[in-house]
Amino acid sequence: MRIDIITVLPELLKSPFEASILKRAIEKGLVSVHLHNLRDYSKGNYNQVDDYQFGGGAGMVLMIEPIDKCITNLQKQREYDEIIYMTPDGVPLNQSTANTLSLKGNIMILCGHYKGVDQRVRDTFITKEISIGDYVLSGGELAAAVLSDAIIRLLPGVLNDETSALTDTFQDNLLAPPVYTRPSEYKGMEVPSVLLSGNFPEIEKWREEQALKRTQVLRPDLLE
């Protein structure tokens, strides 16, 4: 898989891909992530990428021309399955969207800034608009990092334990059951005895019950 991210702040996006699981996925060749600085596609000495909004009002808007140049340049080199715009007024990200996107070959992600992008960018190029939650970040970069992480960890070979993404919270619309590790007793706090029993059908049953119970209490909306 290949992910191209278009941003005015590439520095902000470097470190998430230089550590831990994402770094290893890139080193293994399972994914490549390419950052594109929108200013490289701007005109003039000031590298202008934004301007005042027509009709007045506070806040700058990312201009269509540099974005057009950048996207068109990338599209000349390969076909993209999705061109995603990160924006708080997009469709809320969930596990199902991450699963779907993890099956794609090439995706482009455009990070918004300031008041957003010229609407004509959204009308012309964007195939999906995604929000990572009902709050406003100072730009789409951290949201793009969140989306990329959610996708990349699902790629085959990225996680060591191949089954582990399947048992994540949300994979079956349930929260994950509680987990424990050694010691089996700590300051009088014990691990549920079924987990020490070696009886795997019983353990599986207990985990399903716990997942359901947790979801009913903490996230009943997932069961609707």
83: contact with ligand ADE by CB under 6 A: no
CA distances from 216 to 72, 86, 122, 180 (A): 48, 31, 38, 21
91: contact with ligand ADE by CB under 6 A: no
Residues binding ligand ADE: number (CB under 6 A): 12
Instruction: Kindly give, in sequence order, each residue whose CB lies less than 8 Å from that of residue 190, ignoring residues fewer than 6 positions away.
Output: 184
Span interacting with ligand ADE, options 60-68, 84-92, 186-194, 212-220, rule CB under 6 A: 84-92
Considering only residues 105-124, where is the footprint of ligand ADE by CB under 6 A? 112
CA distances from 30 to 1, 113, 151 (A): 7, 29, 12
Residue at shortest CB range from ligand ADE: 143
Q: Taking the CB of residue 158, how many other CB atoms lie within 10 A of it?
A: 20
- Cβ–Cβ under 8 Å, residues 67 and 7: no
59: contact with ligand ADE by CB under 6 A: no
131: contact with ligand ADE by CB under 6 A: yes
Span interacting with ligand ADE, options 11-19, 102-110, 134-142, 164-172, rule CB under 6 A: 134-142
9: contact with ligand ADE by CB under 6 A: no
Q: Taking the CB of residue 206, how many other CB atoms lie within 10 A of it?
A: 18
Applying CB under 6 A, the residues found at the interface with ligand ADE are 86-88, 112, 131-133, 135-137, 140, 143
